[in-house]
Every structure is written in structure tokens, then in C-alpha cells.
Amino acid sequence: MNTNLYKRSRLMYILEAAIEYLISILVAGTYLATITKELGISDTLTGIISSFISLGCVFQLFAMLIKRGNTKRTVLILSVLNQLLFMSLYIVPLSDGAKNVKTALFIIIILLAYFFYNIAHPKKIDWFMSLVDNEKRGIFTAKKEMVSLIAGMGFSFAMGAIVDHYKAIGDIRTAFIIGAIVIFVLMLLHTVTMLLTVQKPNDHISLSKKIDLASILKDKNILRITIVFVLWHIATYCATPYYGTYQIEELGFSQVFVAVLSVIYAVARVSFSFVWGKYADKQSFAKMLRLCFAVAAIGFFINTFCVPDNGKIFFTMYYVCYAIAMGGINSALINLCYDYVAEEKRADALAISLAVAGVFGFLSTLAVSPLVTYIQSNQNTFLGMNIYAQQVLSAISFIITVITIFYVSVSLVKIKKISSK
């Protein structure tokens, strides 16, 4: 196949990831919290809804049923469905009906949206990453993240200013209409990038070859990788689903300040993405992941002391640490499958790891939700101390992240990588 087509496809991959990132901004964090607040949904339920991102990973198991030859068409269809449902989240608050009905509809839509997203995700990653040279995966991933984050900076400012403006004049409904339109336009652009991306022929892997699920479950390297995914999801979903409401409620951040945080986040993440990428290409993604987790742990520790009086400073410090860490974590977790799993098992290994981790992530959010309700119902008091629920959750995430660092050191750092063709 023409090498120019591969070059164009890699460019499309970068653009596809950037557009998908912009859509994700509008359906998470403070934007999601703004919608749920309009619907009258509590902080506890908002946190649980936010964790649907994690629960949705269970649906990645369905990706194992997608045949290699059908990958592009299937991923395209599922992506369009996913993004149309995301657009619908902004329409629900505009509809007539009882509060309970709209809340139920909102939950059904977001769950379906992540259902379609997660079925497509492993195969899409396998499709796009097959177009990247194994020796350049670290640097390529860094470039891809850089473009996404730079695009996200301006996008967050623009959308944040729109939401704040209409909220200030008491017309939040118009902001929701604009949000829905923006997602629809981004969906069209996202679809074009995927149409222009070629699917690499599987010359050395038979399309009819079926991978035995038992062999995947018995693979010790896949088990090790899955445990890392699980631990990180537990650490993340104990606290981060509750940060959205914390920012706009207790800490009192405006959407514009949240946009400023997004810029700071992007600058910090971009600045370290290339550093992490070069380090991973020279050393290993396991070693890079260990360092990233250490920075994330520092961030959670800082957020343990974040209160309204110091919120803008301490939450910013946490966010910078989290940004630096995430500059390598997502890419490292995916690339563990490329370092330690046989090629024909990679997509399925990623699906299983994300699915199992997703369950644990969602259960983690559910497990801490009574704690959030208890602390808030007791006027932010816990064990005789005046403390916010999110501070306690940050402390829990810190402890679990430290445990994850030790596990990576023991289980993966010294394991020999599988050679790639």
C-alpha cells in the first residue's frame, strides 16, 4: 500500500484524537456537573454518573466479537451513535417532563453513549496504532496528545465563557443548545477523519483466526497488566468523579477559571508528554508508568488539603501534578499491551483489562458514595474534624496510587518485553 496513505492516516489519527478529546470535555467534569445541577441531581449521584465512564469499559468485551475485516465500518457506526447520544445529554434539560423522568432519561443516554464508545475503543486503538512504527510509539503518542491539548485550551476557554455568560444572565438553556450544536459539528469532523484513515492489511494474521479466550485469561502478562489497570481505576474513581461538583460548588470556581485550569493542565501535560515519550522509547513504558504514578500520588496528596480558602492554589497544584502524570499514564497503559502481549492478543487483552478495571472503578465510586453523603449530611464533619468529602477521597486515592507504584515495580519493570515484527 502507498506509504503516503499511511502518512495521511497517521495525521488523521492525530486529528481524530483531538476532535474526540474536545467532545469528551463537554461531557465530563464541570460541564457534566452543570447539566446535572440543572436537572436537580445530587453531588453523590453526579459522582456515580461520572463513573459510568469506568463502568462503560465493561462493554469493551463486546469488541472481542468484532471481526478484523469489519473493524473500520463497525467503529465508524458506533462512534457516530456514541456522539449523537452525547449531543442528546444537552437536550434532556431542555425537554418537558418530570424531574425523575428527565434524570432517568439522562442516565440511560449516558450509559448507552459509553456502551457504544467502549465497544469501538479497543478495535479503534488497534486499527490506528497498527499504522505507527513500534519504535516510535512513545513520540507519536506525545505528538497526538500535544495537538489534542492545545486544541482543548482554546476550546475550553470559548465554551467556558459561553456557559458563564448565559448562566450569568439566567439563560442556561441557550448554553445547552450551543453545546449540542457544537458536539454535532465535531461529530461530522470526527467522522471525516475516520473515513480518510486506511485500515492496514493483516498480512501475517489470518482474518479467520480466532483467539481462544481461555488462553488470554491464562496469560500471566495480561493478568499483570489487568491488575495495574484495576489499581489505577480504583485510585482514580474513588475521587475524581466528585471533583466536578467540588469545583463549582464548595470551591466556587467559575467556568472561566475552570477553563484557565484547563490551559494550565494542557501546558503541563504537553510539556511532559515528549519527555515521557522519549523516556519510554529508550527505557520502557513500565518504568515510565511508575514515575507517572508517583507524580499522580503527589497530586492526590496535595488535594487532601484543598479547601475553599486555598482552593485556587491547591487545586491548581493538584491539577498540574495530575496533568504531568496523565501526560504518560494513558499512553503507557495502552502500550503495556504492545510491550508484553503477543500481537494477535493485543486488542482483546486491552478490552479485557479495561473491562475488568471499569467494573472496579465504578464499584469504587459506589463504595465511597455513602461516605460522601455521610460527610455532607453532617455539615462536612468526619471523625470530629471539619473536612470536605473530597479531601477524604483524595487521601484514599493517594494511598491506592502508592500501592500501585509498588505493584508496577514488582510485577512489570523487570519483565522482558515481547519482540515485535
pTM of the model: 0.69
Q: Is 277:133 a contact under the CB 8 Å cutoff?
A: no
Residues listed for the chain: 421
CA atoms of 275 and 327, how far apart (whole Å): 9
What cell was used for 29? Answer: 467534569
Cα 282 to the center of its chain, rounded Å: 26
Range from 115-124, 203-212, 265-274, 315-324 carrying the lowest mean pLDDT: 203-212
**Cα separations (Å) of 84 from 181, 182, 184, 389?**
11, 11, 7, 34
CB-CB contact of 276 with 181 (8 Å): no
Residue 342 near residue 286 (C-beta atoms within 8 A)? no
What the block records as the C-alpha cell of 251 is 470551591
Rounded alpha-carbon distances, angstroms, from residue 55 to 221, 234, 354, 357: 23, 12, 9, 8
Indicate whether 213 pLDDT > 70.
Answer: no
pLDDT of residue 66: 60
Strand ranges, E, within 227-359: none
Residues 401, 297 contacting (CB under 8 angstroms):
yes
Most confident of 63-77, 182-196, 268-282: 182-196
Mean per-residue pLDDT of the chain = 83
pLDDT at 132 over 70: yes
What is the arithmetic mean of pLDDT over 295-313? 93
Would you say residue 207 has pLDDT above 60? no
- Name the burial class of residue 269, with classes exposed (0-12), middle (13-18) and buried (19+) by CB atoms within 10 angstroms of its CB: buried
Residue 306 and residue 250 in contact, taking contact as beta carbons nearer than 8 Å = no
- Retrieve residue 289's grid coordinates: 508508568
> Pick the residue with more confidence: 314 or 344?
314
| 152 vs 394, residue with greater confidence | 394
- 3-class secondary structure, 413: coil
- Nine cell digits for residue 183: 458536539
